[in-house]
Amino acid sequence: MILRGLRMMFKSTPPKIRISKRRQTKTAQEILDMLKKFLEEESAEPVEYLCGVWEQQKRGVTYAELRRAVKAGAIDTKWLRQWSEDYNRVVVEKLEPVWRKALASGASSNPLLRGGRLSWDSQSQRITEWVLERGGIFAEGCTKGQREAIQALLEYQLTEKLPIDHFCQAVMPCIGLTQRQAKSTMILYHRTKKDLIKDGLKTEAAHKKALSIAQKYAEQQHQRRALTIAQTEMAAAWNYGAEEAVRQAQEQRLIGHVVRRWCTSGDDRVCESCAALDGTEVEMDSRFNATTKTGSILSVEYPPLHSMCGCAVEYIEVQE
């Protein structure tokens, strides 16, 4: 076993925050590379699956229902039930298998446990609870986000008063987008249409052209959202797997006292909050405290800190 000094033994608890900007150690870089490789190799399938779900959801909404929703200024509850069912199915059919693969990959990433030393229990109580909890949060969050997105469009219509048929056609491609994406799609449609009319096009022709541009844009946004979900969900499972492996190894008495060190990928895309955490060490039962853009403290056990976060944790044995 590797004994990494007595430093931690003399630290009082709660210890921790030690910030240093530095190049990653060889071990940390290896871990980060493994995570990156996993995310790159495994994203395509869940991305395609999610885009397929949104296609289905678009087909599940009729123009008659949409017109009624516009008149009422509120979303059809039938859609909400359907979306909630859809996202629960996404969890069972796609995310659970993807999570389990990521959990196992994360577990095998730990250099302390290479060479088949750990007898990995993929069905541990903690993993079962993690999958259940994450699945619930995911399905609820996606349904809520989708409701807020369409509701924001209905509110846009209240002030902008587009011709109802034109508006409904522009809402359709937004189903499955986040609120921000849906609004920017609608604004793109509306501005383009106004510009085209100013350029002399007839209303109907301007509508068709603007709609086609908005549809293409929405498609890109769906791809982007799917990638964000896939990578963030896989990164969460991967990092949880790495942590769970350490806990199991401790229970199997393969390793002793371990501290965790936050490691950022170090590329240009690392956000300020993650960069500030780089090199911070905490005990297994403590959390990493990150300062968000707004100055509030976000407390997490392991990465990802945010969507598309590529950070990982290096587990360092400080005492056998």
* Residue numbers 182-221 binding Zn ion by CB under 5 A: none
Q: In terms of DSSP H, where are the helices of 108-202?
A: 125-160, 164-171, 179-198
Minimum distance from residue 272 beta carbon to Zn ion (Å): 10
Of 176 and 279, the one with the shorter C-beta distance to Zn ion is 279
- Mapped onto helix, strand or coil, the DSSP state of residue 255 is coil
The answer to the question of residue 31 lying near Zn ion (CB under 5 A) is no
Residue 310 Cβ vs Zn ion, minimum distance, rounded to whole Å: 6
CB 90 within 8 A of CB 68: no
Least distance from Zn ion to the Cβ atom of residue 131, Å = 23
Question: Under the criterion CB under 5 A, does residue 236 sit at the interface with Zn ion?
Answer: no
Residue 274 binds Zn ion, judged by CB under 5 A: yes
Establish if 309 lies at the interface with Zn ion (CB under 5 A). yes
Q: Residue 109 or residue 248: which is nearer to Zn ion going by CB? A: 109
- Which residue is it, tokens 């909050």? 273
Residue placing its CB nearer to Zn ion in the complex, 98 or 311: 311
Give the integer Cα–Cα distance in Å for 206 and 195.
8
Q: Which is nearer to Zn ion, 206 or 311 (CB)?
A: 311
How many residues contact Zn ion, by CB under 5 A?
A: 4
**What is the rounded distance in angstroms from the CA atom of residue 148 to the CA atom of residue 191?**
22
Half-sphere exposure of 314 (CA within 13 A, CB side): 25
Q: Measured from the CB of residue 28, what is the shortest distance to Zn ion in angstroms? A: 13
Which of 149, 305 has the CB closer to Zn ion?
A: 305
Between 248 and 280, name the residue whose CB sits nearer to Zn ion.
Answer: 280
Cis peptide before 304 (omega within 30 of 0): yes
Q: At closest approach, how far in Å is the CB of 291 from Zn ion?
A: 13
Task: List the alpha helices (DSSP H) in the chain.
Answer: 26-42, 44-59, 63-72, 77-90, 96-107, 125-160, 164-171, 179-198, 203-251, 272-277
- Which stretch in 30-38, 43-51, 187-195, 297-305 sits in contact with Zn ion by CB under 5 A? 297-305
Residue 227 near residue 47, CB atoms below 8 Å: yes
Span between the terminal Cα atoms of the chain, in Å: 7
Question: Smallest distance, Å, CB 134 to Zn ion?
Answer: 18
Least Cβ distance, residue 267 to Zn ion (angstroms): 10
- Residue 14: asked if its preceding bond is cis (omega within 30°), the reply is yes
203 three-state secondary structure: helix
Provide, rounded to whole angstroms, the least separation between the CB of residue 265 and Zn ion. Answer: 7
Of 71-79, 95-103, 240-248, 273-281, the segment contacting Zn ion by CB under 5 A is 273-281
Give the contacts of 251 (CB within 8 A, at least 6 positions apart). none
Q: Of 182 and 282, which CB lies nearer to Zn ion in the complex structure? A: 282
Residue selected from 75, 210, 311, 312 as contacting Zn ion according to rule CB under 5 A: 311
Q: Which residues bind Zn ion (CB under 5 A)?
A: 274, 305, 309, 311
